Amino acid sequence: MGKLQTIIKNLIREKGSIPFRDFMDLALYQPELGYYHSDRNVFGKTGDYYTAPEVHSVFGQTIARDLLVKWQELGSPEPLVIVEFGAGRGKLARDILDHIQMEAPQTYKTTQYWIIEKSAHLRIVQQEKMQGHPVRWLSSLEERAPFSGIVLSNELIDAMPVHLVTETKYGLQEVYVSARDGQFHELLVPVSDHRIRDYLMKYAIPLQQGQRAEVNLDALDWLGQVANCLTDGFVITIDYGDEAQILYEGRWNGTLRGYQHHRLSDHLLDHPGEQDLTADVNFTALMKYGEQVGFTTVFYGTQSRFLVEAGIFGQLTDKLAEDPFQCMDMKRNMAIKHLIMPGGMGERFKVLVQRKNL
């Protein structure tokens, strides 16, 4: 039995069954033992999944060009403040800053890049990668509030713990986690938070009897926090998910799933801390709640459309090479194709851009 598994079982023994949301939070973020807090590599070929920045630096370069355009739309205030939540191994941040330094050296001199990272291990990895760049690490956004700038996240919301609910003949119930006979088990109880019902009414569709779904209250709390700290600027959210009608309609088992070594896991309660737990993002909730806290949606669409509009085709080359797997230009062309092609990352991932004080 793993250490984290023992910790969770002891917690259940002391306090009784816990909401799945709390189980997921411990499995992903328990200090030192949680999936994102351990020293194991979860990204790339040797990890459990790929992210767009890991595909090629052309992704970060294209994001950087878009950030510079948005900074100009804000009136080019100095400094240019970019805040990234959950920066992973720092690949996106490094590519963005490398591009700004090369293409806009005067702007780079006044750029401030803030990273908000929960994981102590990943913070160390990021600091090694960011050497020489103007980066600060914050524990929370309130440390530098209020500010004007651009808030960026890539695959952040999908990693937030979610409440798991199901519609039964007795009404809406929530999934809790209990422990017996040395194993974790699901338990259905009345919903733990009145906001769960409000969320489903405002940002989802009525569930059918037997249907299961996720409710991400943490995402709304996060967006509300950003709204309180940002006086003028943009929030760019890149993640996989969809609008509520598509996300909930016809999906009887929801979107919650586990990943381990690039394979789907059917046993979400097994081996906490050793597999990724994730759920699709409800972009309808982010857009509608965003309006309540002062944001205006200025773009919502596929990653493919966003990257094309941001000028990624300008990075293509028609240079021919005898060995395309060794030619850097051909590698970039292949990466662009991978990032924007329908049926893959280009369509699966969505981009939401919201503006404060439009």
Q: Which residues contact 333 (CB under 8 A, 6 or more apart)?
A: 316, 317
Residue 58 is predicted with a pLDDT of 86
Reply yes or no on whether the pLDDT at 324 is more than 90.
Answer: no
The yes-or-no verdict on residue 315 having pLDDT over 80 is: no
User: What confidence tier does 344 reach under pLDDT thresholds 50, 70, 90?
Assistant: confident
Residue 34: predicted pLDDT: 93
Residue count (the chain) = 358
Please say whether the beta carbons of 212 and 163 come within 8 A: no
Tell me the average pLDDT across 242-260.
Answer: 91
Predicted pLDDT of residue 255: 95
- pLDDT at 262 > cutoff 70: no
> So where are the chain's domains?
52-160+217-250+278-356
> Residue 105 pLDDT more than 80?
yes
Q: Check: CB of residue 312 under 8 Å from CB of residue 56.
A: no
Q: Residue 177 above 90 pLDDT?
A: yes
**HSE-up of residue 92 (Cα within 13 Å, Cβ side):** 25
Q: What is the mean pLDDT of residues 306-327?
A: 72
pLDDT confidence of residue 340: 82
pLDDT grade for 176, boundaries at 50, 70 and 90: very high
pLDDT at 314: 79
* Interval 158-175 mean pLDDT: 96
pLDDT score at 266 = 76
- Give mean pLDDT, residues 194-214: 95
Which residues is 32 bridged to in the sheet? none
Q: Among residues of the chain, what percentage have pLDDT more than 90?
A: 73
| Cα–chain center distance at 56 | 18
Cα separation, 21 vs 252, in Å, equals 19
Question: If pLDDT is split at 50, 70 and 90, which confidence band does 1 have?
Answer: low
Whole-number Å distance between alpha carbons of 223 and 239: 14
Extract the tokens encoding 144: 């530098």
Give residue 138's pLDDT: 95
Across the chain, mean pLDDT equals: 90
CATH number of the domain at 52-160+217-250+278-356, please? 3.40.50.12710
Which of 26-35, 109-118, 332-341 has the lowest average pLDDT?
Answer: 332-341
- Whole-number pLDDT of residue 316: 74
Whether 111 shows a pLDDT value over 70: the answer reads: yes
Beta strands per DSSP E along the chain? 18-19, 80-85, 111-116, 135-138, 147-154, 163-168, 171-180, 183-190, 212-215, 230-242, 257-260, 263-265, 276-278, 281-282, 295-302, 349-356
Distance between CA atoms of 148 and 211, rounded to whole angstroms? 42
Residue 250: what pLDDT?
79
pLDDT of residue 124: 92
pLDDT for residue 47: 55
What value does the mean pLDDT take over residues 283-297?
98
Summarised one tens digit per residue, pLDDT across range 55-91 is 788 899 999 999 999 999 999 999 999 999 999 999 9
Model confidence at 146, pLDDT cuts 50, 70, 90, reads: very high
Q: How many helices (DSSP H) and strands (DSSP E) are in the chain?
A: 14, 16
**Position with higher pLDDT, 213 vs 339:** 213
pLDDT value, residue 76 = 95
Rounded to whole angstroms, the Cα distance separating 196 from 132 reads: 45
Q: pLDDT band at residue 6, thresholds of 50, 70 and 90?
A: very high
Contact 67, 95 (CB under 8 A): no
pLDDT at 15 > cutoff 60: yes
Q: Does residue 294 carry a pLDDT above 70?
A: yes
